[in-house]
Amino acid sequence: MPTVNEHFFDVEDDYLFAATDQAIADFERKNPSCRVLRMSKGDVTRPLAPAVVEAIHQAVDEMSQVGGCKGYSPSAGYDFLLRSIAEQYAALGVALSCKELFVSDGSKSDIGNIFDLFGQDNLVLVPDPGYPAYRDVSILTGNRVFPVKASAENGFVAEPPADVKADLIFLCSPNNPTGTAMDRSLMEKWVSYAKACGAIIFFDAVYERYISDPCIPHSIFQVEGAKECALEFRSYSKGAGFTGVRCSVVAIPQELTARRRAGAEVALNQLWARRNATRFNGVSYLVQRAAQAVHTPQGEAQTGEDIAFYQQNIRLLRQGLRNMGYSVFGGEHAPYLWLQCPEGFDSWAWFKYLLAEIAVAVVPGKGFGLYGEGYVRLSAFCSREDVEEVLARLQSISK
Ligand SMILES: *Cc1c(COP(=O)(O)O)cnc(C)c1O
């Protein structure tokens, strides 16, 4: 009989969304006439941009022709898409060649798969509160986790810890769930810290298109020296509405190395290419054409309108909540608000209260880490009517 990965017993059950979904379903069963407003959604709700739809249609037509059908994609992605991505980086002042970019089927997969390159027992820093996959995948692959507090005292962004020598570091900016972004000087601190420890930063930039302040970097590689200590995840999911289409990018600079047990340094870029050769057969042609369309002027403008729509939702929510006297954080550079629970409520209690009293679903902050306690996450991935309705319902319970 084979043995299983013992680390499965070191992670909690996928408790957060299972538990919130169950509570919402129970409420709906008992209150069939009441519409639950799902401000808990970390998923886009607007339709695909017309330029994206057109690109997919065209690609299907191409593949329906004799001689036009595409088989396996190169495992790192087609040149047409890699070039568009390299150009997007170039516009940020970051020089990355197509050989340093790898197209993939989603950042969640990439975040898990990147551990194929590393040994076990590394010390992994994860932002707390943070995206739960960082913690879970680190544990499942036999590594140790050190949570880095991103709480009110430090403006809800993680700072390098004193007296901890990391091997790997997850950073997410703008951050899910707090909706806050790191400024350049904090990113520089992290790069210096990583270099001092010999650590590697995994920079998750999936919300970069929501950044609204031109001084905030969109990529870790905009920081001097980051190519020697960081790799980056980017995704079309939140920035272009691709959560159901699936496409992402991993950027691994040639300079980035890690050590073998005996001490020799090896380039991670080559290890990742080697890993993909064995474990990945590429993203579908249709999806890569769809992603390329996001980089066209039309695609960029259309997806930009969707982002502007969600951003306006966030502004209305934030203003409305502040007017009611709530303490609200984040949202300037991300589609999420981080809302402090009123006195007397922990995050699960407030989640339950809001659901029971006004049929509004949020996400309890505790689900994102211990330091998420005392807060809930509100998402702006909803319609304008829902924003107005949620504010009206909250007004009805505020003193
Ligand atoms: C949504 C999300 C992802 C996953 O994105 P996919 O590309 O859809 O897999 C990764 N990181 C964070 C922080 C996210 O919120």
Ligand 1 geometric centre to CA of 108 (Å): 5
User: Does ligand 1 come within 6 angstroms of the Cβ of 112?
Assistant: no
Ligand 1 geometric centre to CA of 39 (Å): 17
Angle at 82 between CA 77 and CA 83, to 5 degrees: 150
User: Does ligand 1 come within 6 angstroms of the Cβ of 364?
Assistant: no
Q: Diameter of the chain by CA atoms? A: 68
User: Does ligand 1 come within 6 angstroms of the Cβ of 84?
Assistant: no
Ligand 1 geometric centre to CA of 232 (Å): 13
The reported pLDDT for the residue numbered 239 is 95
Q: Minimal CA–CA distance to 273: which of 113, 148, 122?
A: 113
Tokens describing residue 269: 């870029």
H and E: helices and strands count for the chain: 12, 15
Q: Which of 5-19, 208-222, 312-326 has the lowest mean pLDDT?
A: 5-19
**174-188 pLDDT, tens digit each:** 999 999 999 999 999
Residue 184 in contact with residue 93, Cβ under 8 Å? no
3-state secondary structure 101-146: EEEECCHHHHHHHHHHHCCCCCEEEEEECCCHHHHHHHHHCCCEEE
User: Does ligand 1 come within 6 angstroms of the Cβ of 237?
Assistant: yes
- By most ligand atoms within 8 Å of CB, the mutation choice from 173, 235, 283, 294 for ligand 1 is 235
User: Does ligand 1 come within 6 angstroms of the Cβ of 108?
Assistant: yes
User: Does ligand 1 come within 6 angstroms of the Cβ of 106?
Assistant: yes
Q: Tell me the residue length of the chain.
A: 399
User: Does ligand 1 come within 6 angstroms of the Cβ of 302?
Assistant: no
Q: Minimal CA–CA distance to 291: which of 104, 61, 111, 76?
A: 104
Ligand 1 geometric centre to CA of 203 (Å): 12
User: Does ligand 1 come within 6 angstroms of the Cβ of 298?
Assistant: no
Q: In what order do the strands lie in the sheet with 363-364?
A: 328-330, 336-340, 375-379, 363-364
**333-354 pLDDT, tens digit each:** 999 999 999 999 999 999 999 9
The reported pLDDT for the residue numbered 18 is 83
The reported pLDDT for the residue numbered 284 is 97
The reported pLDDT for the residue numbered 41 is 84
The reported pLDDT for the residue numbered 42 is 83
64 C-beta neighbours (distance < 10 Å), count: 9
Report the b/e string of 307-321 with b at 16+ CB within 10 A. beebbebbebbbebb
Burial (Cβ within 10 Å: 0-12, 13-18, ≥19) of residue 72: exposed
Ligand 1 geometric centre to CA of 125 (Å): 18
Residue % of the chain over a pLDDT of 90: 93
Tell the residue nearest (CA) to atom 5 of ligand 1.
107
Give the pLDDT band (50/70/90) at residue 15. confident
Name residue 261's beta-bridge partners. none
- Residue 215 three-state SS: coil
Tell me: pLDDT of 399 over 70: no
What value does the mean pLDDT take over residues 99-116? Answer: 98
Residue % of the chain over a pLDDT of 70: 99
Residue 303 in contact with residue 241, Cβ under 8 Å? yes
| Residue 356 to residue 362: CA distance in whole angstroms | 12
Q: Minimal CA–CA distance to 269: which of 106, 97, 92?
A: 97
